[in-house]
Amino acid sequence: MRPAQPRRRRWPWLALSGAAAVVAVAVGAVIILRPSGSSAAAWSRLGTEDVHSLAFAADDPDRLLFGHHGGISASSDGGRTWQPLGTRSDAMSLGAASDGSIVIAGHEVFAASRDDGRTWENIPATLPSLDIHGFARDPGDPARMWAYLATGGLWESRDAGLTWELVHQENVLFPVAVQAAGATRLFGVTVGGLAAADDGGRTWRSVATPELYPIASLAATTDGSVLVAGGPGGLARSDDGGASWSELSFDGEPAAIAVTAGGRTIAVVTRSTDYFRSDDGGQTWPAP
């Protein structure tokens, strides 16, 4: 499969029916606490054409993967320096597992690496389209995956991406999978705001939505206790699985977010490709 050709970034929330403003409507009780005196210092600038995805590899705060239109960049020093990995395919979404495997999904791209990104193979998926705008892997079972397609709907695979089942007709943006109390839970953005599903994405219930307009990125710890959402208004954090939210002291425009276990380290890449990092849960964003 040939790498995706350059194209203008299509912001995925435009695929939702109705006005995009509904994404930011608060559902349930939302607590917003705004810290004062916020400031942030960039650790590095990626300088890529666009910004797609960000993840900590094996939950290691020093190892990061950054996905963009031209492939993946990796850092082993917490984000100070970055090197390209062995693919130039569009990494609109990526999922890294503790066994060293990485899966990327994007515009006509669905591929896997089993050696930390050195070599890659296309996955022969039965999806009706490989224009994948959202992707998640189960942290408790890396062979279980979900994909949100540009053509619509949320799909599930239980065999490492080979065969797929449509589990939800409506669009679910920014799907994130966590292991909450020994069971898999999905978070994502629906027309009603932030929502969660405990049955593999078949039925969704609303959870409190942070006051960001609109949500442009979403990340969670593997146990789902901490969620971090980003939008043009900055960053918001939940420490109770999405029941309530507090605004973080970050003034940029996050486009990709990653968070480590416990929620202590949060990494952000803005739309201008600047990389920021907080090691105190988002309270401060100092230079390295």
**In the chain, domain spans:** 26-278
pLDDT-derived band at 233, boundaries 50, 70, 90: confident
Give the model's pLDDT for residue 34: 38
* 12 three-class SS: helix
As a whole number of angstroms, the distance between CA 35 and CA 249 comes to 6
What does the pLDDT look like over 51-71, one tens digit per residue?
Answer: 999 999 988 999 999 999 999
102 compared with 5, residue with greater pLDDT: 102
Residues contacting residue 14 through CB under 8 Å, at least 6 positions apart: 20
- pLDDT of 275 > 50? The answer is yes
pLDDT-derived band at 134, boundaries 50, 70, 90: very high
What average pLDDT does the structure give for the chain? Answer: 87
What does the pLDDT look like over 73-107, one tens digit per residue?
Answer: 999 999 999 999 989 999 999 999 988 899 999 99
Q: What is the mean pLDDT of residues 199-227?
A: 95
Give the model's pLDDT for residue 181: 85
- pLDDT of 20 > 90? The answer is no
3-state per-residue secondary structure call for the chain:
CCCCCCCCCCCHHHHCCCCHHHHHCCCCCCCCCCCCCCCECCCEECCCCCCCEEEEHHHCCCCEEEEECCEEEEECCCCCCCEECCCCCCCCEEEECCCCCEEEEEECEEEEECCCCCCCEECCCCCCCCEEEEEEEECCEEEEEEEEECCCCEEEECCCCCCCEEEECCCCEEEEEEEECCEEEEEEEECCEEEEECCCCCCCEECCCCCCCCCCEEEECCCCCCEEEEECCEEEEECCCCCCCEECCCCCCEEEEEECHHHCCEEEEECCCEEEEECCCCCCECCC
Residue 179 identity = Q
Please tell me the CATH superfamily of domain 26-278, with its number.
YVTN repeat-like/Quinoprotein amine dehydrogenase (2.130.10.10)
- pLDDT of 9 > 80? The answer is no
Terminal Cα-to-Cα distance of the chain (whole angstroms): 39
Q: What percent of the chain has pLDDT over 70?
A: 87
Residue 184 identity = T
Residue found under tokens 């939210």: 245
Share in percent of the chain as helix, strand, coil (round to 5): 5, 40, 55
* 187 three-class SS: strand
Give the model's pLDDT for residue 19: 34
* 257 three-class SS: strand
Give the model's pLDDT for residue 14: 33
Q: How many C-beta neighbours within 10 Å does residue 79 have?
A: 25
Give the model's pLDDT for residue 178: 97
What does the pLDDT look like over 236-245, one tens digit per residue?
Answer: 999 999 999 9
- pLDDT of 33 > 80? The answer is no
Cβ 285 vs Cβ 39: under 8 Å = yes
